[in-house]
Every structure is written in C-alpha cells, then in structure tokens.
A and B are shown apart, each in its own frame.
Chain A
Amino acid sequence: MSVAIHAKGLNKCFRVPLDRSTTLKYRVTHLRSASRYRDFYALRDVSFDVPEGQFLGITGPNGCGKSTLLKILARILRPDSGEVAVNGEVSSFLELGVGFNPELTARENVFLAGAVLGLSRAQLARQINAIMHFADLAEFADAKLKNYSSGMQVRLAFTVAITASAEILLMDEVLAVGDARFQDKCFEVFSQFKRDGKTIVLVSHDLGILERYCDRLLLLYHGQVLDDGPPARVTSHYRSIVAEEEAAEGGAAVAAAAVLGA
C-alpha cells in the first residue's frame, strides 16, 4: 500500500518575541538587543508515515505541537528542517468557516469559501441547492450569514468543506462543535470517507472519539512523538501520564500548602 503522508525529522521552532519589536524605531534604538527572543520548540524530530486509507488520530496536551504539525501538513507553516510529502488532493479543515464573511448571504459564502478550497463557481452553482439542503438550510439560502445562529454557520461550513473532493483530509477539532444530531451526521460522513479509502488525520482531545474511529493514534508530548500505535494502547498510556502529572502536581501543592502554613 502506498504512502499518503510522509513526515521525517520535522522540527519547528517559534521565536517568541519578549518585547515589542514591530516598529522601526524600536529596531533602530535597540540594535544591540535584537536577540531578545525566547525559542519555543513546537516540534522536535517528528517522523511518521501514513499509509493510504488510514485514519490517524493525533492527541496530546495543550501546546504539545498538534496544531503546528497539522499546519505543516497543510502547507500553512514551513518546518525549519525535515521533510514532508503529501501525495494526493488535500482538504484541510483547521477551522470551520474559513473565508466566511458575515455580511454576505449564505449562498455567496458558499462560493467564497468554496473558492478558498479551490472549487470553481460554475461547479458550485450546479450543486448549490444540494449543498443548502444537505446543511438543512434550504430556506435560509439568501439570509445574511450574520443572522445565522452559530450552529447554522457550522452546518454550512462543514457541508462546504466536505463538498470538495479530496483523497486526504486534515482536521482539527472539527467535531467539538455542533449539536448531537450534527455530530452524528459528521460521523456518518467520516465513516463513509473511511469506507471509500480516504486518508484522514484528525487532531482531537476527545479520547473516546479517537478510540472509536482511528486506526492508529499518535501521542505528542512537548513536540515529540511519545507514542505511536493502536488507539486503545496509546490512550491508556496518555491517561497514565496525565494521572502521574496530576499526582505530582497534587504532591507539590500539598508541599506548598505545608510551607505556607508553617
């Protein structure tokens, strides 16, 4: 089976400025202190291959580099070193409703967000009724998006996103939004994508969902791959780490309380 995503030795470091340096005056008057940065290593030597048709989950605590990794796969960020190869047409949903404008009608937003995904107006125009119907918004197609509830916006955004035909899907926490019925609909679609042999990468905190749908789970910790394997094993590994940390923090808190109390 061929490789859909190949990542080898990925490193990404963000230079977090410690002072405001976006004005020329500051740059000129603080020439000597130009290096006031703190380096934050978001990814360190991350390597993995995703075979075609695999549903890969990525999890880990906040700030572990999940989103950075996904953005590198989506070509939004460039790694400092390492190689990435993504073979096939990619759809990335890092956020639902990218490209939406509240002042436009739902119909106009479909064309705009569709164009951001690479779809042509003519093709979208042929499908516009089916899209509005799929999102359960057929009656509101000409209402301005600012008059939509957040749930309606999410339904529209999701429908546009899945309309673009792709072999590889990159998703960040898409499932956290929407009501139960909508979530069911999402999963129905994802199950179908999986049956159709699409490669899916899902970043999520929801271990239950990851266990249920993923073929394989990657655990990131401080920018490194800590574990990579069957979801059941990796989630229990993750849970044990969290429990250990909480115990350590709890111990530290008890110690601190003792010091303060003394």
Chain B
Amino acid sequence: MTIAAQGSRLEAIPRPASVLQRNVNLLRELAVTQFKLKYTGSALGYVWSLVKPAMLFGIMYAVFSVLLRAGSSTPDFTVQLLFAIVIWTFFTESTVVAVNSVVASANLIRKAYFPRWIIVVASILTALMTFLINAALIIVITVPLGSMHLGLRSLAAPLLLVELLMLIIGLSLLLSSLFVYYRDVGHIWEICTLVLFYGSAIVYPFVLFQQHHVAVIAGLNPLAQIVEDLRHALVTPGAPWTMTLLGGLYAVPVLLSVGVFVLGFYVFHRLTPRFAENL
C-alpha cells in the first residue's frame, strides 16, 4: 500500500509473518546498537574493552603469580589466568549490565509491546560480542606461542560455553526481573560477584584447594567448574576434568546451570505482565 501526503509517497512495509523473525531482528538491532554506543564517543573506542581485562590480568598476575606464587607449581598458569580473566570479565559484565537492563529500558517497556526477555538477552549478546573478540585475540596470540594445547578434549569447550551462557542468561533474567521490585538486588549481586571472583579459582589454580572435601565443595560452584574445565580443554591437558574430582556430584554444577536457566525464565515470565506499571 502506498501512503501519499503533500506530494511525497511512502510504501508501507509489512511485518515479517513469523514472530520469531521479528524477535531475532529486534534482538540483533538492540545488541548491535548497544555495542556501538558502548564504544563510540571515547577516543580509544573498542580498545577499552581490551584494556580493562588486560589491566585486571596484569594486577592479578603481579599479586597472585609473582607475589604469592600461587601458580608456581602449575605449568601454563599465566595463560590459564589470562583465559580465566576473560571468561570472568564476560560473566561479570554481562550479568551486572543485564540486572539493570529492564529498569534502564523503562521508557521502551512503558510505551511499546514486544517480548521483554529480548532486552535482557540483547544486553548479554553485547557482552558476548566483546568476549568473542577478546577470546579470538587470545587464541591468535597464544597458539603460535605454543601455550595452548588443543586436542580432542578441546571439543568440550563449546559445550562448556553453552553451559556458561545458560548460567548467565538464567541469572540475568532472574535478577533483572527482581530488580524491578527490589533495588537491593543490584547491590547484593555486586557482593555475590566478588565472592564468586575469589571463590571460583579464577586468579589461582584449582589445585590450590588441597583438601579433597574443600575441592569438591569449590567444584560444585558452576562457574568454578566451567572455568576449570575450560582450562583443561584448552590450556593444560595435565589437570584433571572436574568430573574426575567430583564423580557423581558432577551433576550438581551442571544441573545448577540448567536449573538457574529454567528458574530465570520462569520468574521473568511470571513478573513480566506487571513490569510496565512498576517501572
């Protein structure tokens, strides 16, 4: 159909028939826009997303590796630390931004109809783009140096990333919807990330948990399990899978990730209808 007014003409555009296609389209537009906005306007632009994890890596390397000699008995600890810091940065940036995402999009939610989870997942996708670029850079640098040890076990890496994404999406949906009603959630989550940072064997090797039962308890934390298994899959073939350590309890961190994913969608779905009037 053509719309004509005051001499100019416009062809009306039909919406795609499939709702999925509309949602994917909106998801992509929001994620790409956020990514662009995050890195335009500053002089160094995208470089900042590299500088921040690089600084964190430098500081953690100086403190834990040089001063405390945390990884002296672990081969490849430097590369392990680098990997863990990049995974950690993705985890914390995506969740912290996502928790606030629904409230930050209050105007959009009050004035337009679309599935609300798109906002949360778009903000995670923005962080994922940064993560993928950083990870690609590390691989490009470390593979020629011979610091990465790839093999059949590396095929587990994509599965572990899926587990990480489920954990992140679940947590983000859960926390962002609760944040609409309880603003304390933002602060509580910041404290939790600090606990997770030091409790998930990010800045020290997992073998530092010397007592068996302490190691088992630490391994039940999905983030510790994901980081440790990714290290094994990509960097240090000598270190065991957490499955070897946990045995049947290996189901706990995996089920926790899946459980958080399901719970996140459930809580978000239950709270969504009243977002518009509570924002």
Contact = CB atoms under 8 A, between A and B. Distances in A.
B13 A133 contact: no
Given A22-B181, A78-B274, A103-B37, A130 B12 contact: no
A121 B41 CA distance: 24
9 contacts: A76-B276, A77-B276, A98-B107, A104-B37, A112-B30, A115-B29, A116-B108, A120-B16, A120-B22
Contacts of B110: 76
Contact of B33 (A104, A117, A189): A104
Given A99-B112, A103-B37, 17 more contacts: A22-B181, A23-B183, A23-B184, A74-B113, A76-B113, A98-B108, A117-B15, A119-B15, A121-B28, A127-B11, A131-B10, A164-B13, A165-B14, A185-B6, A189-B3, A192-B4, A192-B5
Contacts of A130: 8-11
Size class of the A contact interface (CB-based, 8 Å): 35 or more
B248 interface: no
A189 B3 CA distance: 7
A196 interface: yes
A111 B13 CA distance: 13
Contacts of B43: none
Contact of B13 (A14, A92, A127, A184): A127
B270 interface: no
A211 interface: no
Interface string B200-230: 0000000000000000000000000000000
Can you list the 3 inter-chain pairs with the closest CB atoms, starting with the nearest? Answer: A115-B29, A165-B12, A188-B5
A210 B110 CA distance: 25
Interface of A: 14, 22-25, 27, 71, 74-78, 89, 92, 94-95, 98-99, 101, 103-104, 108, 111-112, 114-121, 123-124, 127, 130-131, 133-134, 136, 159, 162-165, 181, 184-185, 188-189, 192, 196
B184 A25 contact: yes
Contacts of A78: 273-274
A124 B13 contact: yes
Contact of A112 (B33, B41, B113): B33
Given A130-B9, A165-B14, A185-B5, A112 B37 contact: no
B72 interface: no
Contacts of B21: 120
A103 B5 CA distance: 30
A74 B242 CA distance: 50
B14 A184 contact: no
A92 B28 CA distance: 22
Given A77-B276, A95-B111, A119-B13, A188 B26 contact: no
A165 B10 CA distance: 11
B180 to A, nearest CB: 9
Interface string B158-186: 00000000000000000000000111100
Interface string B254-279: 00000000000000000001101100
A25 B16 CA distance: 47
Contacts of A104: 33, 36-37
Contacts of B11: 127, 130
B48 interface: no
A92 B113 contact: yes
A231 B273 CA distance: 34
A211 B28 CA distance: 43
B183 A164 contact: no
Contacts of A76: 109-113, 276
Contact of B15 (A24, A77, A121, A164): A164
B55 interface: no
Contacts of B113: 74-76, 92
Contacts of B41: 103
A96 B102 CA distance: 21
Contacts of B140: none
